[in-house]
C-alpha cells in the first residue's frame, strides 16, 4: 500500500504545515480578489527563500499587514515600515515590506477599473490550465502567461512580481494545475478546476 507521503507531489516535505498547505490549498482555484492579493504579497516575500519559511510566518504577516486589507495597508507609512523592520515574526527586509504597501496601492488602482480577480485570471482566459506532469520538476518555472501577468502588474506599480513569482502564484491559486498526476490531490484539483 502506498503511503500518503509517497502519494504527494515530490516537492512536499514531511512538515505537517507543508503537507496541510499542499493537501488543502495548493492548486485549488481562488477567485476572491482580496485572497488573491494576500497570496500574491506572500509569494513576493518568498523571493530568494523557501516557501515553507513564509508559510510558517503567514499568521505573523497577516497580523503585521491588517489581514492584508488593501485600504489599510495602502495607508501605512515609513514609520510603519521602521516598526516592522523590528518584527521578528516576518522577514525583515525593507524592500519586501515596502512592496506590500506598494502592491496595496496597485491593487486599489486596479479595483477602480474592475475586479482584481478578473485582472489576474485574464492571463489564463479565466480558466485553469491543466497539466499532466509525472514529476514536479517537469513543470516550468515561468510561462508566457506568467510573463504577461508580471509585466501587467509592474505597469500597475507592483513589485516582487517577477515571472517566476507569478508562475508560483498561478500554481498556488489554481490558475494552473501542476500537481503531479500520481499525487492524491491531482483529481481533486481537476474537479475544482475552472473550465
Burial class (CB in 10 A: 0-12, 13-18, 19+), 58: middle
Beta bridge partners of 130: 177
Q: Tell me the pLDDT of the chain averaged across its residues.
A: 95
**What are the pLDDT digits (tens) for 45-100?**
999 999 999 999 999 999 999 999 999 999 999 999 999 999 999 999 999 999 99
> Which residues are within 8 A (CB) of 167 and not within 5 positions of it... i.e. 6 or more apart?
140, 141, 142, 143, 146, 176
Q: Is the pTM of this model over 0.85?
A: yes
Count the neighbouring beta carbons within 10 Å of the beta carbon of residue 176: 25
Q: How large is the C-alpha radius of gyration of the chain? A: 17
Are the C-beta atoms of residues 30 and 174 closer than 8 Å to each other?
yes
Are the C-beta atoms of residues 167 and 142 closer than 8 Å to each other?
yes
Domain boundaries of the chain, sorted by first residue: 16-192
Give the pLDDT score at 65.
98
pLDDT band at 5 (very low <50, low <70, confident <90, very high): very low
Q: Is 126 left (phi over 0), alpha (psi -120 to 50) or beta?
A: left
Give the pLDDT score at 6.
58
Assign domain 16-192 one CATH number from 3.40.50.450, 1.10.340.30, 1.10.490.10, 1.10.1370.40.
1.10.340.30
Give the pLDDT score at 2.
35
**What are the pLDDT digits (tens) for 160-194?**
999 999 999 999 999 999 999 999 999 999 999 99
Backbone angles phi, psi at 89, to 5 degrees: -80, -10
pLDDT band at 3 (very low <50, low <70, confident <90, very high): very low
Cell of 81: 515600515
H or E element: which one contains 177?
strand 176-177
Amino acid at each position: 500500500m502506498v503511503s500518503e507521503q509517497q502519494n504527494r507531489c515530490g516537492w512536499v516535505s514531511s512538515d505537517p504545515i507543508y503537507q496541510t498547505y499542499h493537501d488543502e490549498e495548493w492548486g485549488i482555484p481562488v477567485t476572491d480578489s482580496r485572497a488573491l492579493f494576500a497570496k500574491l504579497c506572500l509569494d513576493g516575500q518568498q523571493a530568494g527563500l523557501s516557501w515553507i519559511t513564509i508559510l510558517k510566518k503567514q499568521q505573523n504577516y497577516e497580523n503585521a499587514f491588517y489581514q492584508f486589507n488593501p485600504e489599510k495597508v495602502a495607508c501605512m507609512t515609513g514609520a510603519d515600515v521602521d516598526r516592522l523592520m523590528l518584527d521578528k515574526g516576518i522577514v525583515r527586509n525593507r524592500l519586501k515590506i515596502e512592496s506590500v504597501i506598494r502592491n496595496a496601492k496597485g491593487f486599489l488602482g486596479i479595483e477602480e477599473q474592475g475586479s482584481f480577480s478578473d485582472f489576474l485570471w485574464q492571463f489564463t482566459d479565466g480558466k485553469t490550465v491543466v497539466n499532466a506532469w509525472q514529476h514536479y520538476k517537469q513543470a516550468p518555472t515561468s510561462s508566457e502567461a506568467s510573463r504577461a501577468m508580471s509585466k501587467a502588474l509592474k505597469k500597475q506599480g507592483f513589485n516582487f512580481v517577477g515571472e517566476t513569482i507569478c508562475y508560483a502564484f498561478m500554481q498556488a491559486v489554481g490558475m494552473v494545475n501542476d500537481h503531479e498526476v500520481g499525487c492524491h490531490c491531482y483529481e481533486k484539483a481537476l474537479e475544482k478546476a475552472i473550465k
